[in-house]
Amino acid sequence: ILNVEQSPQSLHVQEGDSTNFTCSFPSSNFYALHWYRWETAKSPEALFVMTLNGDEKKKGRISATLNTKEGYSYLYIKGSQPEDSATYLCACLRGNEKLTFGTGTRLTIIP
Amino acid sequence: GAVVSQHPSRVICKSGTSVKIECRSLDFQATTMFWYRQFPKQSLMLMATSNEGSKATYEQGVEKDKFLINHASLTLSTLTVTSAHPEDSSFYICSASRRVGFLRSNQPQHFGDGTRLSIL
């Protein structure tokens, strides 16, 4: 994989349900994986920066895992709330010190 | 609160106009800032890396004479789209990290709110 890919592109989740989505990235020359939440009309907000294979990070109801050997990261949201509606971006930092972004997963929470 | 300020948030102007976009780090010094562009349904694409006190580094395919970057202080980088044309219409956004000039750290990027540029 030469690009950072996110799936699904969009999803609708019922309030209270849990959900997860995927970020795939090149595993070669990997340095770090970033997750951002981007709400409409706001700036992207950093959620996590992960560097080590097997890293798991948590922030409230949101958590993320990292597998650098196979080149993927999962973002989990437990008990979705309307305020979780946003686009979730992942970005991969490789040896060239430039962040390469995925196209994002657009999450809509249905009340 | 915001740690990176970007303005203007929206510009609509005629073809041939030059447009300046400012990106400021509010409570930290940033020797390096990044400028991205996003076309509809696409990812944020790095245009250039802005370096305080030296020339910007442009990504392949980005015309340096078209997109002038000035990083004259530790808290301000500007992107000027010169003689803008309709194909330059896009969303432009800047970012900076608290870790001075070094992306290889656990520090996340702080983004501005972005600038929606529309060239008529």
Q: Across-strand partners of A25?
A: none
Torsion angle of C-alpha atoms A49, A21, A74, B103, degrees rounded to 10:
-20
Contact A99 B109 (CB under 8 A): yes
In which residue are the tokens 């250039």 written? Answer: B48
d(CA B23, CA B4): 7
Shortest alpha-carbon distance between residue B87 and chain A (Å): 21
Contact B112 A34 (CB under 8 A): no
**Please, how many CA atoms are within 13 Å of residue A61, restricted to the half-sphere of its CB?**
13
3-class state of residue B88 by DSSP: helix
Three-state SS for B26-47 is: CCCCCCEEEEEEECCCCCCEEE
- What type of residue sits at position B120? L
Higher pLDDT, B1 or A10: A10
Shortest alpha-carbon distance between residue A77 and chain B (Å): 20
Contact B109 A34 (CB under 8 A): yes
Q: Across-strand partners of A56?
A: A65
User: Which residues from chain A sit within 8 angstroms of residue B49, using beta carbons?
Assistant: 98
Among B36, B93, B108, the residue with its CB nearest the CB of A46 is B108
Q: B2 pLDDT exceeds 80?
A: no
pLDDT value of residue B104: 55
Mean pLDDT value across residues A95-108: 91
Look at chain B and count its residues: 120
Contact B2 A31 (CB under 8 A): no
pLDDT value of residue B49: 93
Among A36, A43, A100, the residue with its CB nearest the CB of B114 is A43
d(CA B120, CA A74): 41
Contact A43 B49 (CB under 8 A): no
Query: How high is the mean pLDDT of chain B?
Result: 91
Contact B106 A98 (CB under 8 A): no
User: Which residues from chain B sit within 8 angstroms of residue A91, using beta carbons?
Assistant: 44
pLDDT digits (tens, 9 = 90+) for B8-18: 999 999 999 99
- Contact criterion met (CB below 8 Å) for A4 and A25: yes
pLDDT digits (tens, 9 = 90+) for A54-69: 999 999 999 999 999 9
pLDDT digits (tens, 9 = 90+) for B55-93: 999 999 999 999 999 998 889 999 999 999 999 999 999
B114 touches chain A (CB under 8 A): yes
Mean pLDDT value across residues A35-43: 95
d(CA B25, CA A63): 28
Cα separations in angstroms, A12 against A43, A107, B89: 22, 6, 30
